Amino acid sequence: MQETEVTVTLQQLETFFWVVNLGSFAAAAERLYATQSTISMRVRELEKSLGVELFDRTHRTAQLTPKGRELMDYAGRILDLSTELEHRISAPEAVSGSVRFGVAEVVTTTWLPELIKLIATRYPNVRLEIEEALTSELMDDLHEGQLELVLAPGHTRIRNFSTISLGTIAFAWMASPALKVEKRTYRPSELALWPVIGLQSKSFHYSAIEDWFQRDHVRCRYLARCKSLAVAASMTIAGMGVSFLPVRSYKDELTQGKLEIIDVELPLPPVEFIAAFPFGHSYSLARAVAELAQEVSDFDK
């Protein structure tokens, strides 16, 4: 009796992996720079090679059969080993692929250009897709598989994700001299008398401010909640309220007298930034970029 040869390619496994992780053939097609018909063809070829159905096509979304769930575990491990082999053994210029990662604004305005230059030098054939957004939005996209890596403020322990510390950056309450804030130490309840210019609720910044005022059992009065620290800073310089800003980003404005730091009781500790990527992968391009980010970051270590 002649045995049937099973031929499964890495491309087929990668396609299957991303269809499952992203939840649809269309999303996988966008992720892999292919047409949806190409993605469907690769999955059909994989099913034909294995002689099993991997997706239950009676549903509107891509739902796995029991064999599909079993294959997903193997696919993850095989792709992990393939990626690790490529990174550990191949010359850096032979490494190819793409990384979709999200960054917080403070990273964008500090050392992100240096990271991009380093990636281009180490891995010239790697494509980058970069998104800037608020921390919560970035983490949602990471959980949903739309991003593979996030560089943002956060905690070093996040369920289902590996993290690497990128260092800390000091924030301080600031105001324009035109606002005539007295030079003394303020409790949260006293600072709450001034209008606050903050970031939107999906930001790490918003949560930190809310927690700080609640230590004194008060709520602040927001003049505005922006999506950008730069916008909040410009409104603060204009004397419209007080805001919580990264000190290093506004050294010039402090030196020039456009802004001044407000002394407060119970000051918040420096904000830690992390690189977060999916847990459980022994090696990946996202991890490689995270390690380069740690190398480049000039935040306080």
pLDDT at 144: 83
pLDDT at 52: 92
Of the three residues 35, 64, 87, the one that is the final residue of a domain is 87
Q: What is the pLDDT of residues 52-69, one digit of tens each?
A: 999 887 777 668 999 999
Judge whether 301 lies within some domain: no
Quick count: other Cβ atoms within 10 Å of Cβ 12? Answer: 20
Q: How far apart are CA 148 and CA 102, in angstroms?
A: 8
- 99 shares its domain with 64: no
- 175 shares its domain with 265: yes
pLDDT at 93: 64
Listed range (14-28, 84-98, 144-158, 254-268) with the worst mean pLDDT? 84-98
Judge whether 253 lies within some domain: yes
Of the three residues 87, 112, 134, the one that is the final residue of a domain is 87
- 119 shares its domain with 156: yes
What's the mean pLDDT when you consider all of the chain? 88
Of the three residues 70, 87, 104, the one that is the final residue of a domain is 87
147, 128, 127, 126: which is closest to 136 by C-alpha?
Answer: 147
- 77 shares its domain with 42: yes
| CA atoms 79, 85, 88, 91: torsion sign | negative
User: Can you give the pTM of this predicted structure?
Assistant: 0.73
- 161 shares its domain with 180: no
- 176 shares its domain with 263: yes
- 178 shares its domain with 139: no
The CATH code of the domain that includes 139 is 3.40.190.10
Judge whether 46 lies within some domain: yes
Q: Tell me the residue length of the chain.
A: 301
* Domain containing residue 54: 10-87
Q: What is the pLDDT of residues 239-282, one digit of tens each?
A: 999 999 999 999 999 999 999 999 999 899 999 999 999 865 55
Q: Is the pLDDT of residue 137 over 80?
A: yes
Per-residue pLDDT averaged across 71-85, rounded? Answer: 81
pLDDT at 2: 47
- 106 shares its domain with 254: no
pLDDT at 1: 42
Q: Is the pLDDT of residue 51 over 70?
A: yes
Judge whether 33 lies within some domain: yes
pLDDT at 146: 86
- 76 shares its domain with 100: no
- 153 shares its domain with 286: yes
Three-state secondary structure along 58-101? Answer: CCCCCEECHHHHHHHHHHHHHHHHHHHHHHHHCCHHHCEEEEEE
